[in-house]
Each structure stands twice: as structure tokens, then as C-alpha cells.
Structure 1
Amino acid sequence: MTRPTTSSTPFPPPPGARAYALRTARGDFAVVDSPAAAGVEVRGVALLLPGFTGSKEDFHRLHGPLAARGYRTVTVDGRGQNESDGPADDESPYAREELAQDVLAQAAALGTPVHLVGHSLGGQIARAAVLLDHAPFLSFTLMSSGPAEISESQKLRVKLLHDALAVMTMPEVWEAIVAMGPPEEVGGPARGFGDPEQLRLRWLNHKPAQLLATGRQLCAEPDRVAELAAVPLPFHVLSGARDDTWPVPLLDEMAVRLRADRTVVPEAEHSPNLDRPLPTARGLADFWDRRRRRD
């Protein structure tokens, strides 16, 4: 399913990590795989899923600090995201359960129970996977990912994107996004790890059908927190101190409902992995370490 990931990729992995196509029972997925640091006790493996319009590169700044804590990290482009292939026009392979089954296949291909982390849309896809089968997972962290549908302001942004995709090509939509202002103000596909050309290439790699299908899901996601709370896994809710997609008080309430550990990263917003990678990595590793001690 995946276009081969080679040394010529415009998205080189961070030092010590390897980019390749992870072979699974549901096709190949582009991943960046970073081992635990040399000389450090290996403490576990984590599978990290990116958000809407995002990619595995959004976690690049987490690999090093998590490796230093003894964790191997595998970040993945989902079906139709960036370097993982998928149909451009058929939305059916991007149904929520299909994407959840992809996550289960990715975990199975790693061959060991993993700590699951999902950012934003990735958190809701990960939640669907956990609700299908929690056995492959040691824990589940929802990173800036809320209990149900996104905020009204973000629904409007998704609608604008969908309207643009209906009448414009992907390169034309990118030009419109860039014309809206600097990345820190525009957000979305204009913001992420990499220079402007890498972000443009990432956008062009995304499949329109994936963006349309998952955008609709974000705008209509039901509250499944009660179902998730019944799953026998340790939960963790991590976010920045400010979030326009799911307000922080809503994330606080979700953590209470899940009886989850809670980490708020100061001076970070919807993408703490990009805004404040060191305290974000510390929050993740501290949670995983606490689980090891309790187990």
C-alpha cells in the first residue's frame, strides 16, 4: 500500500532513527522507528498516531528524549497520510473502523505490546482501535484529543477546507492556505515539523478522500468516553495549557471520567509535541514509567 520510503525522502528521520515501510496484514505504512538509546535500559515500545492534516514527522522532536528514557518510538503515517498510500477519490477505506483496524495491524506487526499515543484525530482513531481490541496495548494516551466532536470554530475550518477541495486541486488549495497568513496563525496543514517546502510536499502527498472522510468524522464524532472507561487499560490525557479544538476544561473532565493520569504542558497549545517537545516527552515517559512500577 505504501510508496517505498528511501534515503531520498524529503522527510529524513531524526538522528538514530530509521524511516521504512512497516509491512502489516493490511498493507504497508510509512514509519519512523527510533530505538532506545545505547546503554539505556529498554523500557518499552510506543506507537504514535498523528492528527488531521499531520504526519509522523510531527513527532520528530519526541524521538530523542524518549529514546534517552529507554523507549523505542514508532511514528506512523496513517492510510492516505503523507507517505502512506491510499485511494485519492474513494472514501470508504477511510471509514473509522477501517482506520482502527489499520492501527491494530500496525501494533501486530511490531510484535510486542505497545504504549499507544494518538494526537487529535489520531487519538480518536486510536480510541476506536482500543474499543475493538485492547489486547495489543499496554496503555493509551490521548494527546490533545477530546471526548467527541471538535469545537464549532474548528468545524468551520474543516468546512472551508472541504469546500475548497470540492472546486480546487491540492496545489491550488495549498496556495490558498499559504495566502491566508503565517503558519503560526493559519495552523492546520501550514504548521508542522519541517520547512515550507517539506510542508507543501506533505500536503500534496495527502489523499483528498482521506481529508474529506476524516474531516467529517471529526465534526460528528460521538462521545465514547463511557465505553472507553470500561476498557481495562491505564489511560493518560495530555494536552497543552490552551486548545482551540477541544477546550482544556473539557479535556480535564474527560480525564476524570476515564480515571486517567493528566498532564498539562505549560506554554503549549494543540500540538504540545511541536510546541514543547521536552516536557511533552517527559509527561509521556513519566506516565509509562509509573505504569511499569504499578505492574
Structure 2
Amino acid sequence: MSTPRFLTLPPGVRSRRIETTVGTFAALEAMPVSGIAERWPALLVPGLTGSKEDFIAVLQTLAQAGRQVVAIDMRGQYETEGPDDPAAYTCPALGNDIDVLAQHVGGGGPVHLVGHSFGGLVTREAVIDGRTKFASYTLMSSGPSAIPGVRAQVSRAMLAELPEVGIEQLWQTRMEPEALAAGVPDEIVEFLRGRLLANSVTGMVAMTHAVLSAPDRCDDLAQVGVPTFVLCGEHDDGWPPETQAEMAHRLGTECMVVPGAAHSPAVEAPETTAAALTRFWNDSEARLLN
């Protein structure tokens, strides 16, 4: 496993593989550059077409607050292998992976959990099943049920095209032109292409079906009692900020809208996002320890 050459890892951040009873997962692990990891660790889970690299900009800042922070590729994503079995990519199946990973990262102790976008639909399964002791739970740019709007349309189009044209053709005809039109630098376009082509096609199809059909589980999540936080960008084009604010209201918690950010606050507003997560994590620990 190697980090793309243009993605220079910050001090205290390293690539690693985490071996578990359900498979080996590619990860980025951040530790404090100075001092020790005296606070409870955190596990960060990316969205459907994302990867652990989506969190690079926040890892060092989060770790400097005194904790180990681990971002992973889910099974079938980028540098984590996955089987050619669609049943392995349902939200409950992926949520079981998160349970196992969290128990590994936390060594049986409490862990802060963050799920971005589709990763929120996956991670909530682990929170709801109650098998792992979570110190807190953050839904980042995620929603209460299936993704709506433009992203739903794009996902349905991808499902229609992918079996016929293949993933390389899908990149060339749809995703690369969109990235270039948005002014994405060439080296990042190169990374996005490599990441997309490394994904399991079976996994992409199954996870896309899952994000389009996810049920509303807010009531189940509200009953668990894990401290929860909702965070999104003010220009989120996935689940609208109003939908996420209503979800936070149903969960009896705060919704923070990050100014200037869209669907990926950790990329678009890393300092604001890292500060918000650290504040929430520290407050959650203080409440749980008192």
C-alpha cells in the first residue's frame, strides 16, 4: 500500500494495514507529534466513492488533541480488497466490519465514530446494534434515509451504465469530464481515476443500490443513547442541510453547518471541521467520565 505521490502525509500520519477476523483493511493512522495519545481514539469512515484519503487534511489536527485517529477504506474500496458477493456490501454487512474495526482500534474501550455520506448509513448500523462501546457518533454530510435529489439521479444513471460500459468507460465519459470542468488539478484527477478503477465493481453496484434504498433509522438511533453530532456543509448537494438539521432535531442533538463547505467538509473546510469534531469529542468524554 502506498500513498499517491502528491498526497504528502502530514507529520504523525502513516499508512498501515489493520488485520481483523473479517479481513485486512487499508488505513491511515494519525498519532500526536508531541505528547501521548491520552484521549479515546477515533475511527473515520468514508463515503461510497471515497477513501481514507478524504480525511488527510484533518488527521494531524485531530491527533494533536491527544488521540489516535484512524481513517479506513471499507471493504471493496480503493486499497481494501472485497469479495465478488453483493451480500458483502449491504449496510448491515459493512456495519459489522465497523464493529470489528472499532473494537480493534479501541482495544475494547470507547471509540469516537465518524461516518461520512454513505459511511453514515453504514456506521449507524454498528451504533444501533450495540455490540461496540462508542464514545460518540458523528454523522457527516449524511442523512436519515436514501440519498435524494441530483446525487440520486447520478447514482441511478451509474447503475444503468456500469454493467454495459464498464468502470473505465464510465470514468472517461462522465467522471473525468466533470472533474476537469470543475478545475480539479491534473494530479488529483490522476488519483481519482486510480482510486475509482481500484474499487470493486460488485461493491460499487451493491453500495449504490444501498444508498438509494436505505430506510429511515433515526428512531432506532435515537434510542441507543450514544452522544451524537450532525455536521454538514452549507452547500451540501447530497442530503440537503435542512434535511440533516431535521435529522439532528429528531436525534435530539446539534447540527453544525460549516460555512463555505459542500458535501465534504473535511476536504473543503478542514480546520473548522477538525475543531468542531475535537470540541464534540472532548465534551462527550467529559460527560461520560463525570
Question: Measured at CA, do residues 179 and 203 of structure 1 come closer, stay the same or move farther in structure 2, by a change above 3 Å?
Answer: closer
Please tell me the residue identity of whatever aligns with 1:62: V
The Cα RMSD (Å) is 2.2
User: Partner of 1:169: helix, strand, or coil?
Assistant: helix
* Structure 2 CA distance for partners of 1:184 and 1:25, relative to 1, 3 Å: farther
- TM-score, normalising length: structure 1: 0.90
Give identity over the alignment, percent.
36
In the alignment, what sits opposite 2:118?
121
Assess, with a 3 A threshold, how the Cα gap between structure 1 residues 225 and 79 changes in structure 2: closer, same or farther: same
Q: Which amino acid aligns with 2:144?
A: P
Tell me how far 1:31 sits from its aligned partner: 0.5
Q: 1 CA distance for matches of 2:138 and 2:3?
A: 31
List alignment gaps of at least 5 residues for structure 2.
Answer: none
Task: Tell me what 2:146 maps to.
Answer: 149
The answer to whether the 8 Å contact 2:143/2:243 transfers is yes
Ranges in structure 1 where 5+ consecutive residues have no aligned partner: none
Tell me the equivalent position of 1:252.
Answer: 245
SS, match of residue 178 in structure 2: coil
Q: TM-score, normalised by structure 2?
A: 0.92
- Displacement of 1:160: 1.3
Displacement of 1:10 in angstroms is: 8.3
Q: Give 1:216-255 correspondences, 5 Å limit.
A: 216-255=209-248
Q: In structure 2, what is the equivalent of residue 82 of structure 1?
A: 78
Aligned equivalents of 1:284, 1:234: Cα separation in 2 = 12
Tell me if structure 1 keeps the 8 A contact 2:45–2:71.
yes
CA shift in 2, pair 1:255/1:119, >3 Å: same
Three-state SS of the structure 1 residue aligned to 2:193 is helix
Q: Which residue of 2 aligns with 1:213?
A: 206
Deviation for aligned residue 1:205:
0.7
Q: CA deviation at 1:71?
A: 2.6
CA-to-aligned-CA distance 1:132-186 (integer Å, 9 cap, x gap): 1253311000000000111132111001111221112222211112453335749
The 5-angstrom pairing of residues 36-185 of structure 1 reads 36-39=32-35, 42-87=38-83, 89-110=84-105, 111=107, 112-133=109-130, 135-182=132-179, 185=182
> Quick check: 1:293 aligned with 2:286?
yes
CA contact (8 A) 1:93 1:99 kept: yes
Is the Cα–Cα contact under 8 Å of residues 31 and 64 in structure 2 kept in the other structure? Answer: no
Q: Is the 8 A contact 2:32 2:67 kept in 1?
A: yes
